[in-house]
Amino acid sequence: MEHVTASEEPSAALMYHVERPIFNEGYIDSELLHRKKRTPKSFQRRIAEHLRCSSEKAKSVVFGFLPILTWLPSYPLKEYLFGDIVSGISTGVMQLPQGLAYAMLAAVPPVFGLYSSFYPVLLYTFLGTSKHISIGTFAVISLMIGGIAVREAPDSMFAVNGTNASQVVDFEARDARRVEVVVALTTLVGIIQFVLGLLRFGFLAIYLTEPLVRGFTTAAAVHVSVSQIKYLLGVHTARFNGPLSVVHSLDAVFRNIASTNVVTLIIGLVCMVFLYFIKDLNERFKKKLPIPIPGEIIVVIVSTGISYGMVMSENYGVEVVGKIPTGLLPPKIPDFSVFPNLFPDAFAIAVVGFSIAISLAKTFALKHGYSVDGNQELIALGLCNFMSSFFHTFVVTASMSRSLVQESTGGHTEIAGLLASILVLLVVVAIGFVFQPLPTTVLAAIIMVNLLGMYKQLKDIPALWRTSKIELVINKFYVFFFFFGHGEIWFFLLGLDYGLVVAMGFAILTVIYRTQCPKNALLGQIPDTGLYFDVDEYEEAEECSGIKIFQSNTSIYFANSDLYVSTLKAKTGIDPAQLLTGRKSQLKYAKRDNGERKAVNHCSSVKKNAVVLLDVELGVTREVVAGPKKQMDHVYTNGQMNENNTESESEDDFFLQRLTPIHTIILDFTPVNFIDSVGAKTIKSVIKEFATVDVKVVLAGCSRTLLSDLRTLKFFCEPVTPDLIFPTIHDAVLHCKRSEGRPRLP
């Protein structure tokens, strides 16, 4: 019976009173709960229902595959259109210089960055579920692509008239080959993402934890910045790929620093200062400015005009973008022959690209009150990359900086992204040639300033140190691996892709570590309540007399079952094996003492018999004991008392006494989410082992799911029965106190 009472005074605490019998699982399962009757469906029926087609199911599939159909018919023109137009133009203006700049990171001519800023963005408008992310080129992904392109098509393959380093490199043939490699890589990434989406692997991003992704992008920012120093200084060095590539890049720059082009350096520094100032201005006055000041497009237009007017490439030796073909290239089938070499890299890029996109999408969805589908995002990214690759693009994902601009300038739907892609298309088709005099140092300045936001993530270190040192290790673990290399490196000198795999593996190992090192506690009761807390942490918690309540904050499975048992014995201070060893030692000394008593008693046995005979004749029965007086045990048989000394009873029975003041151990299974067959066998062996020293082990707080698993694992068989399982710790404590209070039979 349960009822709730409250005092009429507003400040009085709400009270509840419960009066019920002590429950155990045997009673609950047989008397209290009754399962609903359900007819299980056959396998054939489930398959038939899954494959059955109906108008509603077809509509759901189409709307799920093309999310634009769910919101476009009800698009509010008056409310959303103006904001989407302003946002689309702002994002497109930002996408143009970033597309050109990130193409350099991908080791392909700049125009391919413009292609990658058009086709995928157009497709995502129809396939994506996020209303605010900006799909296109991104520095981290471009860096990964560039490393693969340089590895598969190094300069040495295209040296004219020999392989000597002083020989001329056929840049046109090299760039053409790198474009083929990058396009094939993009196709493979698209296939992987699409297949993962169909297989409902949207949860894959869970294993790329936020600290890991932040550490990954911070490390990438370091590598990207180092790769842009040569463009900022105007020095010519090879692009390094492999072990310690960052160190090699810096070494090459410093070796050639004497050949720095002063004009190039001045242009780059001025652009960096200007862009930083504009970004700071936009951040300070973002609430007052209707749209952010487009600093990047201003820098591109002004520097292009100055470079063209002063003919800097010829008069001052400033390196410029060069030829940008007008119009779009015809579609072309990728080179499938390179797929085997690219698959590991493609998988890493596919996972990283999706993780970045889905994390941004979820952030904006949470802010604006809508939901995104991780599986559909995988499908959308996969199709964007796969279909666009036939039109000479490289892998794309969501851009953090552009997404923030698209959202902050009033973008409401994917229409903003569509308008941004149209703006890029106009530039590619009509005025792409205008950007040919653009100095590459300007693009390097744009890249380096855009990476400043990633360096701010280093501020996470103090916060992570205070909150979670394990997550701090995950975060900076990847920075270490990434900093030391970019390709295949054995042992700890790992590259970008393998470093990511190791970091993911390390993140998973931390989960295993937490199951291996859980928080263990002995619980005590708060007086006059049914609440139980750690006795080491709370003064009010008092242990119940003769009862130990053990809690381990972990599930029990093959990897930690032995650790669970050893911790249980250490915490409770009861080790049955040691207690039994002590009993055997006592038994050994008892046998020795019995032997000595036998020798003493043998000398007076004749005298004792005579005395007893005389007493019998006189009709008197008395007990005669030689030596010191000793109390004897008596055994009643058939209503008569028979003398029985220590020699006639077994030593095991004589020494069968409680070896520990603890009579019951309660295992709190409230934190246990699952248990496997090894864990179930371990718990059953614990119950049997402690029973040998007269200590009863019971379980409390098992969830219904866990109980179902235990039944499946055949856990409930002698000596373990459902009567040993209690729904709460308090039920178990009351039961154990009552059982111990009963008198024992002789």
pLDDT, tens digit, 9 for 90 and up, residues 516-526: 788 899 999 99
Name residue, tokens 């409230």: 670
Q: Measure Cα distances from 289 to 228, 410, 733 in Å.
A: 31, 12, 66
| One domain, residues 409 and 540 | no
Closest C-alpha to 28, from 595, 724, 736:
724
pLDDT value, residue 525: 93
Number of domains in the chain: 2
**615-629 pLDDT, tens per residue?**
434 344 444 444 444
Higher-scoring residue by pLDDT: 198, 48: 198
Q: CA–CA separation, 694 vs 583, rounded Å?
A: 13
Burial state string for 486-507 with b = 16 or more CB within 10 A and e = fewer than 16: bbebeeebbbbbbbbbbbbebb
pLDDT value, residue 40: 78
Question: Is residue 689 in some structural domain?
Answer: yes
pLDDT value, residue 167: 65
CATH of the domain at 707: 3.30.750.24
Last residue of a domain, one of 401, 434, 450: 450
pLDDT value, residue 208: 63
| One domain, residues 239 and 151 | yes
Assign 601 a pLDDT band (cuts: 50, 70, 90). low
Q: Does 37 have pLDDT greater than 50? A: yes
The Cβ of residue 426 has, within 10 Å, a number of other Cβ atoms equal to 12
Question: Is residue 604 in some structural domain?
Answer: no
Mean pLDDT, rounded, of the chain: 80
Last residue of a domain, one of 450, 467, 492: 450
Tell me the average pLDDT across 277-298: 84
Q: Does 3 have pLDDT greater than 80? A: no
| One domain, residues 127 and 250 | yes
pLDDT value, residue 155: 83
Question: Is residue 436 in some structural domain?
Answer: yes
Tell me the average pLDDT across 206-233: 74
| One domain, residues 405 and 538 | no
Q: Does 156 have pLDDT greater than 50? A: yes
- How does strand 664-668 pair with strand 696-700? parallel
Q: Measure Cα distances from 389 to 183, 185, 339, 352 in Å.
A: 5, 9, 14, 18
Question: Is residue 350 in some structural domain?
Answer: yes
Question: Is residue 533 in some structural domain?
Answer: yes
Which residues span the domain enclosing 666?
Answer: 520-576+658-740
Q: Does 9 have pLDDT greater than 80? A: no
| One domain, residues 525 and 418 | no
Q: CA–CA separation, 485 vs 243, rounded Å?
A: 4
In the chain, DSSP finds a helix count (H) and a strand count (E) of 30, 12
Assign 360 a pLDDT band (cuts: 50, 70, 90). confident
The alpha-helical segments, DSSP class H, found in 517-647 are 561-572, 576-603, 605-617
pTM (two decimals): 0.70
Last residue of a domain, one of 418, 435, 450: 450
Q: Please answer whether residues 173 and 109 qualify as being in contact, where contact means their C-beta atoms are separated by less than 8 angstroms.
A: no
Q: What is the CA radius of gyration of the chain?
A: 39
**Percent of the chain scoring above 90 in pLDDT:** 35
| One domain, residues 99 and 214 | yes
Q: Does 184 have pLDDT greater than 90? A: yes
| One domain, residues 442 and 526 | no
Tell me the average pLDDT across 529-540: 92
Segment among 288-292, 459-463, 529-533, 690-694 with least mean pLDDT: 459-463
| One domain, residues 320 and 189 | yes
Sequence-distant (≥ 6) Cβ neighbours of residue 609 within 8 angstroms:
none
Question: Is residue 597 in some structural domain?
Answer: no
Higher-scoring residue by pLDDT: 287, 508: 287
Assign 333 a pLDDT band (cuts: 50, 70, 90). very high
Higher-scoring residue by pLDDT: 725, 595: 725
Tell me the average pLDDT across 311-338: 88
Q: CA–CA separation, 519 vs 558, rounded Å?
A: 18
Higher-scoring residue by pLDDT: 131, 51: 131
**613-670 pLDDT, tens per residue?**
434 343 444 444 444 443 434 333 333 334 444 444 445 554 446 678 899 999 999 9
Tell me the average pLDDT across 46-58: 79
Higher-scoring residue by pLDDT: 592, 472: 592
| One domain, residues 333 and 413 | yes
Q: Does 31 have pLDDT greater than 50? A: yes
| One domain, residues 327 and 178 | yes
Tell me the average pLDDT across 705-711: 92
**436-481 pLDDT, tens per residue?**
898 989 988 888 887 777 666 666 556 655 555 555 554 444 444 4
SS3 642: strand
Tokens linked to 680:
């179930």
Higher-scoring residue by pLDDT: 742, 675: 675
Assign 210 a pLDDT band (cuts: 50, 70, 90). low
Task: Look up residue 35 and give its DSSP letter.
Answer: P
Residues in the chain: 746
Q: Does 328 have pLDDT greater than 50? A: yes
Q: Does 672 have pLDDT greater than 90? A: yes
Question: Is residue 512 in some structural domain?
Answer: no
| One domain, residues 439 and 527 | no
Question: Is residue 358 in some structural domain?
Answer: yes
Q: Does 732 have pLDDT greater than 60? A: yes
Q: CA–CA separation, 448 vs 152, rounded Å?
A: 26
| One domain, residues 111 and 241 | yes
Segment among 344-358, 600-614, 631-645, 674-688 with least mean pLDDT: 631-645
